[in-house]
Each structure stands twice: as C-alpha cells, then as structure tokens.
Amino acid sequence: MKALSGKVAIVTGASAPAGIGRAIARRFAQEGASLLLVAEGTASQLADAAEECRALAGEGARAEHAVYDLSVEGAAEAMIERAGKSFGRIDILVNNAGIRARRKFGEFSRSDFNAAVAVNLAAPFFASQAVLPIMRRQGGGRIIHIASQMGSVTHDDRAVYGMTKAGLIYLAKAMAYELAADNIIVNAISPGPVLTGHIAELIEKTPALGKERLAYIRANRFGRPEEIAELAFFLASTSATYLMGQDIIIDGGYTTH
C-alpha cells in the first residue's frame, strides 16, 4: 500500500508547473493521496495539475481543483468547507500559497503590506483554524506551512515578505504547542533559493542576481521543487511524531554562515 493511500490533502499555490506547490501535489499523488489543489486565477493550470495527479495516484484516489483568491476574507474557510464536503475528511493541509512584495524599505505602500499579510499569513492562519474541527473529529492530522529562509535571515527589499514568513514560522510553533493534544502535528518548511519558474525567469532577465545568490549556496546550485516536495512528504507521512513545531530550513547551506 502506498504511504498516503486513503489520505486527503489540500495544497495551496499548486498551479505553476515548475512551482513548489505542484511538486508537493505530485509527490503526494505518487503515494496515493486524494487532493484538492488550490490557486488564484489559474483554472487551466490547476486542471492540468489535477489531471497529472490523478494519473500518478492511480485507482482509489481523486484529484480536484478550485480557484480561490486567498487574500479575500472568508476564502480560506470556504476552501476547507469545500474539501470537507467533497472528500469527507482532511488529513493534510499544506499552506504553500504566497506572494512576494519586493521594494526598498520606506517605499512599501499600505496595499503592498496588506496583500502580503493576507496571503502569506492570514490565509494559513484561518485555513488552519477552519480545518481543526475536521481533524479533531477524525483523530488528528498534519499541517505544513511553507515559510522561507527569509523568515530567519534578511536580504535587500524583503522586509514585508520576510516579516510574513517569520510570522508563519512562529505560527507553526504556537499551533504545535496548542494542538499536540489533538494529534494535530504542525511544522514549517523554509526553502532557500529554489529554481521555480518564477526564479528561472528572474535569473534569465538578471544573470547577475543568479550569480550573487549562488555565491551564498554551499551546495553550489539552486534547489529543485522536488527536493522541497520530498521534505513535505516526509512531514506528511512520517511516524516520527515527536517532530513538531519545527522550522526546517532546506537551503543548500545558505544559512550556515
């Protein structure tokens, strides 16, 4: 039997073909999970992702998709309600959706700030609150926040983004502390430089940026979305349930110095 057979997972930010969320969805599907894939305004890409996951999962698993703008109040709760009604249970919630706000400090607008907080922090917070009754009723679950190394270190133009990710790391710790008695295990993953589609395009436009980032990566290469997905699968499936409330940095050694 596959490791996630009979389990139901929600993965947000799951549409981009070369993104971390879609890589996580594929990895879960390979292990037999049923999935609700969520993103904002990318219905065709989500449909492709769901079809891909159905093919990987094989018989007995389902993959559905839904477009939600998680910056909108109530969207995170609606997402959980939909999954609960459709699948009857939710075993794994991966809060991966996020947006970047890159400006020099002093140049951020209130809308920049509000948008980043809404998607990167408020949506995981309220999605996690909404899933509690379902996970408690079924005897437990796993919640994984995809944070960032920028929640622990800093860089130019990242004040708002890093602040939201630092908040997400704290949220993982607070939730783990309060929810352990319900067998709801919460952890965070903090990726470093990963060669997603967005980063690949950025480096192609500004090669100097790629060289600058590589200088700090001891592995001398960018990470792959599949490497983040492997860690997410471990957290979703491991019987090492003493691991909780942790922020696991996976960055090729970037933060070792």
Q: Which residues are part of the catalytic machinery?
A: 161
CA distance 84 to 61: 15
Under 8 Å between Cβ of 95 and 12: yes
Residue recorded with tokens 């990470």: 223
Q: How far is CA 26 from CA 95, 205, 243, in A?
A: 16, 29, 24
**Helix H or strand E encompassing 9:** strand 8-12
Give, as one character, the DSSP assignment of residue 73: T
Answer left, alpha or beta for residue 157, where phi above 0 means left and psi between -120 and 50 means alpha. left
Under 8 Å between Cβ of 61 and 32: yes
User: Among the residues of 89-206, which ranges form H helices?
Assistant: 110-117, 123-138, 159-179, 197-205
CA R_g for the chain: 17
